[in-house]
Amino acid sequence: MRKKIVAGNWKMNKTLQEGLELAKELDAALAGKAINCDVVIGTPFIHLASVASAIDTTKIGVASQNCADKVSGAYTGEISASMVASTGAKYVILGHSERRAYYGETTAILKEKTELVLANGLTPIFCIGEVLEEREAGIQNQIVKNQIEESLFGLSAEDFGKIVLAYEPVWAIGTGKTATAAQAQEIHEYIRSVVAGKYGKEVADNCSILYGGSCNGANAKELFANPDVDGGLIGGAALTVAAFMPIIEAWG
Ligand code: PGA
Distance 141 CA to ligand 1 centre (A): 20
pLDDT of residue 213: 94
pLDDT tens sequence across 82-107: 999 999 999 999 999 999 999 999 99
* Residue nearest ligand 1's atom 2 by CA: 235
Q: Distance, CA 74 to ligand 1 centroid (Å)?
A: 32
Residue type present at position 19: G
Atom 6 in ligand 1: residue holding the nearest Cα:
235
User: How far is C-alpha 191 from the geometric centre of its chain's CA atoms?
Assistant: 15
The terminus-to-terminus CA distance of the chain in angstroms comes to: 17
202 catalytically annotated: no
User: Residue 110 and residue 162: Cα distance in Å, rounded?
Assistant: 16
Span 198-208, mean pLDDT?
A: 98
Q: Which of 94, 233, 247 is the best mutation target for the ligand 1 pocket, counting ligand atoms within 8 Å of the beta carbon and taking the most?
A: 233
Distances (CA, A) of 91 to 14, 67, 155, 221, 242: 19, 11, 18, 24, 23
pTM over 0.85: yes
Can you give the residue ranges of every domain in the chain? Answer: 5-249
3-state secondary structure (DSSP) of residue 62: strand
Distance in Å, CA 145 to ligand 1 centroid? 21
Work out the burial of residue 3: count CB atoms within 10 Å of its CB; fewer than 13 is exposed, 13-18 middle, 19 or more buried. middle
Q: How far apart are CA 64 and CA 85, in angstroms?
A: 9
CA 102 to ligand 1 center in whole angstroms: 15
Residue 47 bears catalytic tag: no
* Confidence band for 211, pLDDT divided at 50, 70 and 90: very high
Q: What's the pLDDT at 177?
A: 82
Residue 1 has pLDDT above 90, yes or no: no
Q: Whose CA is nearest to atom 3 of ligand 1?
A: 235
Ranges of H-type helices in the chain? 16-30, 48-54, 81-86, 97-102, 107-119, 132-136, 140-152, 157-160, 181-199, 201-206, 220-224, 241-249
Percent composition of the chain: helix, strand, coil (DSSP 3-state, to 5): 45, 15, 40
State which amino acid sits at residue 20: L
CATH number for domain 5-249, candidates 3.40.1260.10, 3.40.50.920, 3.20.20.70, 3.90.1150.10 = 3.20.20.70
Q: Which atom of ligand 1 is nearest to the CA of 127?
A: 9
Question: Counting Cβ atoms within 10 Å, is residue 105 exposed (0-12), middle (13-18) or buried (19+)?
Answer: buried
Give the integer Cα–Cα distance in Å for 220 and 234. 10
C-alpha count within 13 angstroms, C-beta hemisphere, residue 41: 37
Four-residue CA torsion sign, 233, 239, 243, 248: positive
Task: Give the residues surrounding ligand 1 with Cβ less than 6 Å away.
Answer: 9, 168, 173-174, 212-215, 233-237
Q: What tens digit of pLDDT does each residue of 162-200 get?
A: 999 999 999 998 888 888 999 999 999 999 999 999 999
Q: Of 47, 96, 105, 130, which residue is the catalytic one?
A: 96
Coil, strand or helix: which one is 42? strand
Distance, CA of 148 to CA of 163 (rounded, Å): 11
Share above pLDDT 70 across residues of the chain, in percent, rounded to a whole number: 100
Q: Is the pLDDT of residue 41 over 90?
A: yes
